[in-house]
Amino acid sequence: MNQPILCDLQPTLIDFRHEVLSGLSLSQKQFPPQFFFHDKYGSDLFTQICKLEEYYITRTEIDILQKNSQEIAAVLGKSCLLIEYGSGSIEKVHPLIEALDSPAAYIPIDIAREHLFTYAELTTSKYPELNVIAVAADYTQKEFRLPNEKLSNLANIENKVILFAGSTLGNLNRIEAIALLRKSAALIEGKGAMLIGIDLKKDPTVLHAAYNDSQGLTAQFNLNILSNINRELDADFDLDNFYHYAPYNPVLGRIELHLISKLSQIVTVSGQQFTFREGESIHSENSHKYSIEDIQELSAEAGFMLKETWVDDHKLFSVNYLEL
Ligand code: AVI
């Protein structure tokens, strides 16, 4: 049986203590969005969120990829090298892989090594003809490169395409998003394309429901950051003294996740004290929403041209082909 090539670039994990202490020292307290996935419980909660009726993002993207797989595969062309950022363990790309015409290889990249390697093995067992090169790495790092020595004996590659699914681009601000797109252009050596799943602007009540679900899973996902800090950094956050708040900001076109202090209080983390006023927030995430025009502009600013967009019938979500 064909085996995946496993390539461990030993991604360095973020310095949790440093990020927490510096984030809490800012006048607008904040955490980076990666904190949600810091422990298994956070990742499991996200898997559950993705199955919620109110959180339309995951199922809508899968649906778009499934329904349009032939057309998308035709745009990607023959002998395509498909690179996937943050592939995780969701098999949402499999319908596309099935539709591709003799792909040169599939390169899933993820920081979570164990999950990635299990997923790579599963993909190879499902598609024994496919070359799978799984890369454990942090694709957001400046120094990240593709393991070119592993690609040298692949048959002729006619197109290199980076798939970035799940609307994770939306968790970056505009400057960060453009920087990631430019870095991606360099990764494929200025020739190729990106296939990006991006959540669309829509009725704010739909967005509000998606990030304030009735089962309270998103609230737990947000508050779990404080539990992790308590456990790992000898902190004394009282979770009953904070609540999840996730409004849509129509001016900035984004859902914002906050943890709001219910009262004035002092919290100790690793021996340092942090004062909270009543109503003060820790800003834990932004989830930007785009219009097709926004996507066109963003692409152009990063040196790409938006060539094709596929959306669902309700125009909730988009999958976009951006060419260099
Ligand atoms: C990972 N990311 C695309 C999710 C989003 O929708 O922005 C994270 C999330 N936050 C709350 N719910 C889901």
Q: Nearest residue CA, atom 7 of ligand 1?
A: 287
Confidence of residue 125 (pLDDT cuts 50, 70, 90): very high
Q: What is the pLDDT of residues 154-208, one digit of tens each?
A: 878 999 999 999 999 999 999 999 999 999 999 999 899 999 999 999 999 999 9
Q: Is the pLDDT of residue 83 over 80?
A: yes
Mean pLDDT, range 273-300, rounded to an integer: 98
| Ligand 1 atom closest to Cα of residue 199 | 6
Nearest-atom index, ligand 1, CA of 46: 13
* Segment 39-68 mean pLDDT: 96
- At 89 the pLDDT is 63
pLDDT at 297: 98
Indicate which atom in ligand 1 lies nearest the CA of residue 255.
Answer: 7
For the chain, what is the mean pLDDT? 96
Q: What is the pLDDT at residue 44?
A: 94
Pocket test for ligand 1, best of 85, 180, 211 (most atoms within 8 A of CB): 211
pLDDT over 90 at 233, yes or no = yes
Lowest mean pLDDT among 63-67, 112-116, 223-227, 299-303: 112-116
The yes-or-no verdict on residue 132 having pLDDT over 80 is: yes
Q: What is the pLDDT of residue 18?
A: 98
Which residues are near ligand 1 (CB < 6 Å)?
49, 57, 166-168, 170-171, 211, 218, 285, 287
Q: Give the number of other Cβ atoms within 10 Å of residue 23's Cβ.
A: 17
- pTM (2 d.p.): 0.96
Q: What local confidence, expressed as pLDDT, does residue 1 receive? A: 59
d(CA 229, CA 146): 34
